[in-house]
Structure 1
Amino acid sequence: MRIVVLSDTHGSIDNSILKISQLKDVDIIIHLGDNVKDAINLKEKLGIEVIYVKGNCDFLGEKSDEEKIISLNNKKFFITHGHLYDVKKDMNKIFYRGKELGANVILFGHSHVPTVVKYEDILLLNPGSPTKPRIGSNKSIGLIEIKNDHIEGEILALE
């Protein structure tokens, strides 16, 4: 199973659409907020199922949860934007929340800084931002592959 992860698109998805179109066998897209409308547009333009949560820049008109627990390929995913867990400071709160929930994978955005860490057999992935990268990072999205019960995450630079 191949899962594309995006966050913090802030109204611009053209470069993400181009990159996703180049990838093979994408099963699902997960959008971690800061423009829920972009998530809906991705589904319409690519014809791939999109699961999404709203972020701190998604306002009252956008209807979505701020966090979700989903199961994909027998793996439990905790998805959230990250602002509720102070991820710009560190990953402690989000890690322990995911651990408490029994997550195999924790997905978050908000900081615009790409991160892939495996700790205590839990994969934490922040795809960064395809529009407004921070702290010297490149524009990016994330990719998760699940093969034979093994989970791998990586950051894909755009442009």
Structure 2
Amino acid sequence: MAKALIVSDSHGLKEELIMIKKRHEDEIDLMIHCGDSELETNAKELSGYVTVRGNMDFLGKDFPNEAIEMLGNKCLYITHGHLYDVKMSHMSLAYRAEETGAVIACFGHSHIAEAYEREGMIFINPGSIRLPRGTFEKTYAILEINDLNITVVFYSLEGKQIDHLSKEFKGN
């Protein structure tokens, strides 16, 4: 079993990133920030996170636009989403993730917490821990991969599991 902590769109928050990291550090294998941290590239709050550049990351000009990581036996594609116009469609994001060999695409930008599967690709947007849209809850997610399935569990900033957003997918 392998687990990844996924956050996005923290927009300048610092203590919250550290709090979430400490809350889950003993259970996760990978930490991902899908952009718009609005922090500098070397900010201590982002230490340990694989971080990509969002459209509001003016201080973090050295963040890459995308990252590719392995979690267990699954390839993850990580980006913010603004370069793929994810507020309109996830099609361009799906094509790019497929090009990289990923089966899971992690992104942010819309601030809408969601996880779904389309044509064998799993899409995960952890929402925003600062300015959520579509829900009142400030959210992040934990992705869990095991031999049988892939689970995405959403949490509130306070650490409460949000069952109505969480999803389970059959492993492939």
TM-score range, shorter chain: 0.7 to 0.9
Q: 1:22–1:64: structure 2 CA closer, same or farther, 3 Å change rule?
A: closer
- Which residue of structure 2 lines up, in the alignment, with residue 41 of structure 1? 44
2:38 and 2:59 in contact (8 A); partners too: no
Deviation at 1:59, TM superposition (A): 1.8
Give percent identity, aligned residues only.
Answer: 35
Task: Name the structure 1 match of 2:31.
Answer: 29
The Cα offsets for residues 25-71 of structure 1, whole Å up to 9 and x where unpaired, read as: 12221011112637843355xxxx32111110112653121012222
Question: What TM-score do the two structures reach when normalised by structure 1?
Answer: 0.85
Give the C-alpha shift of residue 111 in structure 1: 0.4
> Given the superposition, is the C-alpha separation of residues 104 and 149 from structure 1 closer, same or farther in structure 2, using an over 3 Å criterion?
farther
Ranges of 4+ aligned residues in structure 1 off by more than 6 Å: none
CA-CA distance at 1:95 after TM superposition: 1.5
- Structure 1: 5+ residue stretches without partners: none
CA-based RMSD of the aligned residues comes to 2.2
Structure 2 segments unaligned to the other structure (5+ residues): 159-172
Question: How far apart, in 1, do the equivalents of 2:144 and 2:58 lie?
Answer: 32
Secondary structure (helix, strand or coil) at the match of 1:42 reads helix
Counterpart in the other structure of 2:79: 80
The residue that corresponds to 2:55 in the other structure is 56
State the TM-score, normalized to the length of structure 2: 0.79
User: How many pairs are equivalent?
Assistant: 155
The whole-number CA distance in structure 1 between the counterparts of 2:87 and 2:60 is 26
The Cα shift of 1:14 comes to 2.7
Aligned partners of 2:131, 2:60: CA distance in 1, in Å?
23
Q: Does 1:129 align with 2:131?
A: no
Q: Which has the higher helix share?
A: 1
